Amino acid sequence: LYTMVVYDFKNVGKLKKLKNSDEVLPKHADKISDVPNGLFKGFKYDSYKDTPPYPNESIRTLQELIKLMGINTNDEFIYSMDRITDMFKELCSELNVPIDENYIETILNNAGGVILDLKYHFNRPRPNLVAKLYGLDLDKNKLHLDTADSPSFPSGHATQGTLIANYFANKYPNHAIRFKKLGRDIGKSRVNAKVHYPSDIVIGERLGNDMFQYLKENNLLWKNTLYKNN
């Protein structure tokens, strides 16, 4: 059935050519340009550029879209998990452990350039754009998310949520399960909002894990070092 839908579909040519953006937004270009001078300047992520997402016209993409169509969105969950720093702040408060919000924002901002570089490298269109060409009613979440204005792959929220979850799990090992669950929930919320494919989350979590290991192995988790590189 899927093969018939994909390869007999009249817009298959448009699917193959479809991309998310015609140009890089200036605010995103600025972050990308800062990577060589930032915290992740030595992070080798070229291998990620050799791991593309599923093609728009592929059966796997169609399967992902069908999966998204069956999801009942949860507005409260989506909006709360959209605020990464705030969610970790709330969890730290609940667990009665300290958090330096400026420190977390420094990590997030530095990671953002790497994520955006990969996003624009692939320029994978968001699910709602592809669904339209398939003639599918994705019923994209009607909430306006300012954080869904870049290409789809990889998920920035999944990457950053995983990165920060690892940081806190390393800092407070007794609460590792709680912090890592929050990191996963941040990624899941983007699928619930239907602004990301499940495969965007998978690669984002992998990237977040690798970025944390880079910081740890290079002794870059210390506060003074982070501020110095920012």
Tell the residue number behind the tokens 């340009």, with chain if given. Answer: 33
pLDDT, one tens digit per residue, over 1-44 is: 344 454 455 678 889 999 999 999 999 999 999 999 999 999 99
On the question of pLDDT at 81 being above 70, the answer is yes
- The amino acid present at 223, given as its one-letter code, is K
Structure tokens at 145: 């998310």
CB–CB of 120/21 below 8 Å? yes
Structure confidence at residue 223 (pLDDT): 58
Is the C-alpha dihedral spanning 144, 147, 148, 154 positive or negative? negative
Whether the per-residue pLDDT at 49 is higher than 90: the answer is: yes
- Give the pTM: 0.91
How many beta carbons lie within 10 A of that of residue 72, not counting itself? 6
- 39 or 142, which is more confident: 39
Per-residue tokens: 139: 């019923």
**Is the model's pLDDT at 124 over the cut of 60?**
yes
| pLDDT tens-digit map of 176-230 | 999 999 999 999 999 999 999 999 999 999 999 999 999 999 988 875 555 544 4
Structure token digits, residue 129: 């754009």
Task: Find the distance separating the first CA and the last CA of the chain, reported in whole Å.
Answer: 52
d(CA 92, CA 166): 14
Q: What is the identity of the amino acid at 179?
A: F
Tokens in use for 177? 């399960």
Quote the pLDDT of residue 230: 42
Predicted pLDDT of residue 13? 83
Instruction: Give me the phi and psi of 178, to 5 degrees please.
Output: -65, -45
pLDDT tens digit string along 85-115?
999 999 999 999 999 999 899 999 999 999 9
Mean pLDDT of the region 164-173: 96
| Closest to 60 (Cα-Cα) out of 18, 14, 2, 11 | 2
